[in-house]
Structure 1
Amino acid sequence: MSITTVSSVATTSLSSHDSPQARLTTHHHHQNPFDSFIQTYNTPELMAKAYDLHRQLRNKDRRVVLQTQRAVSPDMILRGLVLDHQPPEFDPRNCVTVWCRPTKQVINLVSKVQSMLQRVEPDIWLMPAQNLHMTALEILHSAGNDSVEAELLKIRPYLTSLLAPNPSAVLVKPVLSFDQSALALSFLPDTQIVENEEWYSYHHYRKDLFDIVQKKAQVPVQSRYQVPSAHVTIARFVKPLQGSMDDWLATLEEINDWLVHEGGKDIVWRIGEERGSECRCGRIWYGGGWSEGIGYSLRQKDDNEVLWRLV
């Protein structure tokens, strides 16, 4: 999910980068912005390199910004909710999305990284383990309650296919992505293909989600950005840094070095392996909202249970 700063209007942060591929507004029914990326980076190796280049350039750019500004940008909506005890309505942004839930292996890794961050900045807000998610598709954002319900009326008949598990979308090699507002674990599509199977990446998965929503359900996808990114937000700022910016940036570098050489090298996240994808709605920016539907996981599918349930 993209990260907000001070404004109540959704602004982008961790999920955006200034590139021709980045901006995604409302699309006409024949357009799928994921198609061109797949056609351009048309092998597993090329796609993984594109994802990796995106996150490297993004971290490089944000490091320069942090070094120049010498300050972070606390999320004022989150600050109001957690520090000033404002009611949920303080966050006016309602969304409709498709979420992927991390595996226990990924959750454990997140916990370790969060502990490393909190040792340096005790006041940083950490995403609770039960709220961790990756937004595979943002269908509607920053809308009113009526708009959410209107779109859900069209989407509900297609929830079965929208949330069906696919065993081939695999993510690997997490590193820490960061900016002035928040931090996330960012993954790459796996380059390994099972013999005799067609290549199907996380980007292909997102492309298919887009087609189901826009072509079948006839709901115009109103995502803010479409970028080569697969990330799970793990922390946000609600206060200024206690320590120095130099110490903070050094900590981030140390964590990423640990992730590359030790902590993240054996991570393999098969989308839907342990928990099914969710159609998550409402005030979801910090892990809240409700699940309009939850698909069955790959493990439940393998047990020959029904593939779908509603909650």
Structure 2
Amino acid sequence: MTVITRTPGGTRHKTGAARVRSAAAGTGYHLFSGVLAAIFLLPILWAVLNSVKPAAEANSNPPTLFPHSFSLENYQKLATYGAGLGTYLWNSIALSVLVVVGTVIITVLAGYGFARFQFRGKSLLFGTTLLILMVPYATILIPLFIVLGRLGLTNSVFGLALVLIMFQLPFGVFLMRNSFESIPRELEEAALVDGCGPFGALRYVSLRLVMPGVVTVALFSFIASWNEFLGPLIFLSDGSQYTLPIMLVNLSIGQYGAVDYGAIQAGVVITIVPVLLLYLFLQRFYVSGLVNGALRG
């Protein structure tokens, strides 16, 4: 039977079966979390190990778990593949930076406008923005290709960035509107009384309080643009404009059906590292911003 005792200071202490149940629940939680983390980390570990194997060992059948000898042959092969790893890496970085900057600027301004200003057709415009989420991405690639062609933006990283920004707007605007609505209006009114204009109140007061939401939008747009495959495949035709995902697919095809698994795993590792480091560095802002932005509707 569980016994709860009260100390002279009023603190209640659990004894007996309650402590056993609490310890068992904690152990079970950590065990389950550890197993789940191992399941997610094993493919990454496998890619890292294969990337440092010699090409012959990486392509051997059956595969070896640990490399018999350490080699950077696969990374050297990537460095000289096609237009060069540096070219594909730079294209991916440029695309991701353009998408992140454009998405953050537009969603912050749009979210602030939807949260703070009243205007005719506000609800209709906000609902129309969210309707983009219901449009299948692949179904409008051909119309978008025609539009970009008439604007002279096909085979351009900038034109592709505009397309990806459009598809990041619904989630970003929704999250930023909710983030701004969670801030008391009195804080901005106090800034206005002190001499700030509307943009001054946004810059010096509201924007600092919704920074977790801004980081969340930036992370989502970065991951989406960094891993994007279908858009670059359709809108880019020059090999010097390709991004890392396109390079990896071309590498996996190989000559005469041969697949260089070691080089592919090396490319996977290079693709994973920036996203992993960025997420680990900004995860506390990401979790906070996602929760705060989703609680208000």
Rg larger for: 2
Using structure 2 for the length normalisation, give the TM-score.
0.25
Using structure 1 for the length normalisation, give the TM-score.
0.24
By relative contact order (CA 8 Å, sep 6+), the higher-ranking structure is: 1
